[in-house]
């Protein structure tokens, strides 16, 4: 930095001592080791996982192409589900899902594995094979998570489309991915209002002959409507037996996630089983200080990369308990998030700068009725975080 530079260096704010004293993981030694021997460091990180064929090298990089653990074989669901459900973690809560009206549903690792095995077998029964693309257009519910994991379990490639997007955005992503199957729900909820997801999905595939099936999870059993002829019921697919995890190459695609389209045509970004598994699980402990048995509350959505990484794969691979909620952070009232943190003993909260600015606007008085003593860390990612919101 020269004296003629007109813009200032960003302010460096030290971590408060009260936070440092409660941290359960210190990454400083990792930073030194990874700088000195990156290959050895990442191979060591990978050793903590279940592989059907263990990798012998970490990164193969021939710019611009890179491969992680390319000679290894695994399936991310072996590490997110099976290895936990086989041991004492079988009865540990994997998911705590809270509806907009604060009804909680808890899935243990054993229960979640059972649901995923059944839905994976159901997908196979309608012809979904390894490498096929499946678009998931679901509200923020456990069924959305189950659909993602079921695809991964049989080696299919899921592409989640945020349920706030409309017909044309959904249609474009179905076509670009070459999806043969679309999974949706009848409705979602937002601020007490019903969003008709099935109508959007049915219109999006109306003249797409490439789509063979529209899988429908019905939440409201009393809705009467005409269904697209390709519609199959979620409940029927859950009766087709159970599917074991298919070993795949570490570099095989796990999912495609599209950019928002705000700066041009949406681009599909591919993530793979091996590197994504090791990377996101490392984030959980090194960046977020989340460990097995912790309760981790993520306010994102499965339609975004944060939701993929920190609602689904990162927390489950790490053996922690992840809490997520359908609905806005200030509905039905401004204390709902803090009430849930107290009720479920949340240890780490992961949210976005927009939410932090909302908390600022609501004021500190909102916090006073609640015991937040279990909360060690509030982490933040997304758009730019301004210093005032950080403080």
User: Domain residues of the chain, as ranges?
Assistant: 17-390
**Helix and strand counts by DSSP (H, E) for the chain:** 16, 19
Of 217, 214, 81, 205, the closest CA to residue 139 belongs to 217
Residues 6+ apart with CB under 8 A from 62: none
| pLDDT for the residue 177 | 97
Residue 2 has a pLDDT of: 42
Burial class (CB in 10 A: 0-12, 13-18, 19+), 381: middle
| 133 phi and psi angles, rounded to 5 deg | -100, 135
pLDDT the model gives residue 4: 46
Using the structure block, give the residue that is written with the tokens 């700066």: 263
* pLDDT tens, residue order, the chain (391 aa): 444 455 566 677 787 888 788 888 888 889 999 999 999 999 999 999 999 999 999 999 998 899 999 999 999 999 999 999 999 999 999 999 999 999 999 999 999 999 999 999 999 999 999 999 999 999 999 999 999 999 999 999 999 999 999 999 999 999 999 999 999 999 999 999 999 999 999 999 999 999 999 999 999 877 778 888 999 999 999 999 999 999 999 999 999 999 887 778 899 999 999 999 999 999 999 999 999 989 999 999 999 999 999 999 999 999 999 999 999 999 999 999 999 999 999 999 999 999 999 999 999 999 999 999 999 999 998 888 888 888 8
Question: How far, in Å, CA of 38 to CA of 69, rounded?
Answer: 13
Q: To the nearest 10°, report the CA torsion of 355, 358, 360, 366.
A: -100
Contact (Cβ atoms closer than 8 angstroms) between residue 128 and residue 178 = no
Superfamily designation of domain 17-390: ANL, N-terminal domain (3.40.50.12780)
Which pLDDT value is given to residue 1? 40
Q: Which two tokens stand for residue 23?
A: 């941290």
Fill in the DSSP letter of residue 313: I
């Amino acid at each position: 930095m020269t004296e003629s530079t007109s813009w200032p260096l960003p302010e460096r704010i030290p971590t408060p001592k009260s936070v440092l004293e409660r941290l359960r993981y210190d990454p400083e030694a990792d930073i030194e080791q990874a700088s000195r021997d990156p290959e050895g460091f990442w191979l060591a990180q990978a050793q903590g996982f279940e592989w059907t064929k263990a990798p012998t090298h970490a990164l193969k990089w021939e710019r611009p192409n890179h491969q992680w653990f390319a000679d290894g074989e695994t399936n991310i669901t072996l590490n997110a589900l099976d290895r936990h459900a086989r041991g004492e973690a079988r009865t540990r809560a994997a998911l705590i899902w809270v509806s907009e009206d604060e009804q909680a549903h808890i899935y243990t690792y054993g229960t979640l594995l059972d649901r995923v095995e059944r839905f994976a077998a159901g997908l196979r029964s309608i012809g979904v094979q390894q490498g096929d693309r499946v678009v998931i257009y679901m509200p923020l519910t456990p069924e959305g998570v189950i659909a993602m994991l079921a695809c991964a379990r049989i080696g299919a490639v899921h592409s989640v489309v945020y349920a706030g997007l409309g017909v044309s955005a959904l249609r474009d992503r179905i076509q670009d991915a070459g999806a043969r199957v679309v999974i949706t729900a009848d409705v979602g909820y937002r601020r007490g209002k019903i969003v008709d997801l099935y109508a959007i999905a049915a219109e999006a595939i109306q003249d797409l002959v490439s789509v063979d099936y529209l899988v429908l999870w019905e939440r409201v059993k009393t809705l009467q409507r005409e269904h697209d002829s390709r519609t199959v019921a979620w409940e029927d697919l859950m009766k087709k037996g159970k599917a074991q995890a298919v070993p795949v190459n570490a570099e095989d695609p796990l999912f495609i996630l599209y950019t928002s389209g705000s700066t041009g045509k949406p681009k599909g970004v591919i993530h793979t089983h091996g590197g994504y598994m090791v990377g996101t699980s490392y984030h959980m402990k090194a960046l977020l200080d989340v460990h097995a048995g912790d309760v981790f509350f993520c306010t994102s959505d499965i339609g975004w990369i944060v939701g993929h990484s920190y609602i689904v794969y990162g927390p489950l691979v790490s053996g922690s308990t992840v809490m997520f909620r359908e609905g806005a952070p200030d509905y039905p009232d401004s204390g709902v998030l803090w009430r849930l943190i107290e009720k479920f003993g949340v240890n780490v909260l992961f949210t976005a700068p927009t939410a932090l600015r909302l908390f600022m606007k609501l004021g500190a008085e909102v916090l006073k009725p609640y015991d937040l003593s279990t909360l060690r860390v509030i982490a933040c990612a997304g758009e730019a975080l301004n210093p005032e919101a950080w403080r």
